[in-house]
């Protein structure tokens, strides 16, 4: 990811390198390549995706199933709206960062400051760097984006206690054209046994594909609020969701008595 011509004044440092994904750039590139080579790529790039946000050993292969679909539009996509749940801070509405860029071992990712200034005028928006600094749900998406796209900016947003309407209003304001895509970061069920998790996650996937936002809460997905907002937006804009991968940590790298569910979904027009 090139940052030529940009004067970075404030950098949000990596909080997850060496924990959720490799801190060494070469090792990280190798991991990304292996995930993406194994993922299926077909059709045109979706307008939006839902991808999980656990450690790469657990959810990386599932996330790659969604991100690989962006590859046909590598040079077209110039801005990505990232929305995920806040795991470390409680607040109302949605939180933006005052940083000029986020950094990963693969380089700097600049923020779209004009877009952030635009939505800052909405009453549900706050600037809350303390929520962003330790947060993993958006950061773990960045190496995937850096691997499948060329030069791009991001609009990273954390959802606190935000209503569906508040999230939809922000996403509508940022919709723009084919240069803009949306990524919602969320895992699915948490801490159930393997069989129970599979049943729960299959039901959640069916509700997402049917745009049944009202059936989702924190029992189905930690990022249920951004997902619900995206489902309402899909109805408004005629997007069709489909599940392209559905697994859990018992399928990838973990034990099966207490698992976390992961789903990859794409939303196409």
- Listing DSSP states for 157-222 in one string gives EEESB--HHHHHHHHHHH--STTEEEEEE----EEE-HHHHHHHHHHHHHHHHTT-GGG--TTT-T
Cβ within 8 Å of residue 200, ≥6 positions away: 188, 189, 192, 219, 220, 261
Would you say residue 209 lies in a domain? Answer: yes
> Residue 265 — pLDDT band, cuts 50, 70, 90?
very high
Is the model's pLDDT at 53 over the cut of 70? yes
Which CATH number is 58's domain given? 3.40.830.10
Is the model's pLDDT at 3 over the cut of 70? no
Q: What is the pLDDT of residue 5?
A: 46
> Count of domains in the chain?
1
Q: What is the pLDDT of residue 183?
A: 98
Q: What is the pLDDT of residue 4?
A: 46
Tokens of 44: 């045109």
Would you say residue 125 lies in a domain? Answer: yes
d(CA 255, CA 264): 21
Structural domain of 86:
11-15+24-181+199-268
Is the model's pLDDT at 2 over the cut of 90? no
- Give me the mean pLDDT over the 45-68 stretch: 98
Q: What is the pLDDT of residue 79?
A: 98
Inter-residue long-range contacts of 146-149, CB under 8 Å, 24+ positions, other chains counted: 146/1, 146/104, 146/106, 146/107, 146/109, 147/29, 147/32, 147/33, 147/36, 147/67, 147/106, 148/36, 148/67, 148/68, 148/70, 148/71, 148/74, 149/70, 149/74, 149/77, 149/80
Average pLDDT of the chain is 96
Percent of the chain with pLDDT over 90: 94
Would you say residue 192 lies in a domain? Answer: no
Tokens 């949306």, residue? Answer: 182
- Give me the mean pLDDT over the 96-110 stretch: 98
Is the model's pLDDT at 18 over the cut of 80? yes
- pLDDT tens digit sequence for 122-132: 999 999 999 99
Nearest CA to 268 out of 16, 72, 34, 15 is that of 72
- pLDDT tens digit sequence for 210-224: 999 999 999 999 999
| pTM (two decimals) | 0.95
Nearest CA to 84 out of 123, 136, 46 is that of 136
Would you say residue 6 lies in a domain? Answer: no
**154 — phi, psi (to 5°)?**
-130, 155
Q: What is the pLDDT of residue 7?
A: 56
> Residue 37 — pLDDT band, cuts 50, 70, 90?
very high
Would you say residue 99 lies in a domain? Answer: yes
Q: Is the dihedral of CA 36, 238, 52, 117 positive or negative?
A: positive
**103 — phi, psi (to 5°)?**
-125, 145
Would you say residue 122 lies in a domain? Answer: yes
d(CA 173, CA 194): 40
- pLDDT tens digit sequence for 180-237: 999 999 999 999 999 999 999 999 999 999 999 999 999 999 999 999 999 999 999 9
d(CA 167, CA 77): 22
Is the model's pLDDT at 179 over the cut of 90? yes
Is the model's pLDDT at 23 over the cut of 80? yes
Would you say residue 246 lies in a domain? Answer: yes
Would you say residue 194 lies in a domain? Answer: no
């Amino acid at each position: 990811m090139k940052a030529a011509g940009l004067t970075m004044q404030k950098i949000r440092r990596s909080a997850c390198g060496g924990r959720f994904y490799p801190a060494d750039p070469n090792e990280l590139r190798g991991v990304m390549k292996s995930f993406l080579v194994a993922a299926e790529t077909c059709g045109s790039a979706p307008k939006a995706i839902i991808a999980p946000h656990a450690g790469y050993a657990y959810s990386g292969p599932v996330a790659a199933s969604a991100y690989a679909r962006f590859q046909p539009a590598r040079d077209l996509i110039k801005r990505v709206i990232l929305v995920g749940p806040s795991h470390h801070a409680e607040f109302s509405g949605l939180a933006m960062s005052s940083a000029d860029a986020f950094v990963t071992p693969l380089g700097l990712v600049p923020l779209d400051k004009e877009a952030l200034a635009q939505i800052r005028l909405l009453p549900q928006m706050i600037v809350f760097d303390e929520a962003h600094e330790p947060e993993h749900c958006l950061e773990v998406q960045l190496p995937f984006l850096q691997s499948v796209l060329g030069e791009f900016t991001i609009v990273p947003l954390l959802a606190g206690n935000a209503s569906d309407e508040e999230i939809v209003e922000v996403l509508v304001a940022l919709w723009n054209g084919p240069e803009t895509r949306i990524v919602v970061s969320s895992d699915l069920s948490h801490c159930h046994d393997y069989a129970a998790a599979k049943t729960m996650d299959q039901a959640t996937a069916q509700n997402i594909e049917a745009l049944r936002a009202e059936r989702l809460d924190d029992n189905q997905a930690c990022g249920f609020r951004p997902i619900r907002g995206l489902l309402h937006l899909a109805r408004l804009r005629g997007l069709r969701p489909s599940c392209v991968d559905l697994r859990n940590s018992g399928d990838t790298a973990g034990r099966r008595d207490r698992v976390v569910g992961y789903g990859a979904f794409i939303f196409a027009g």
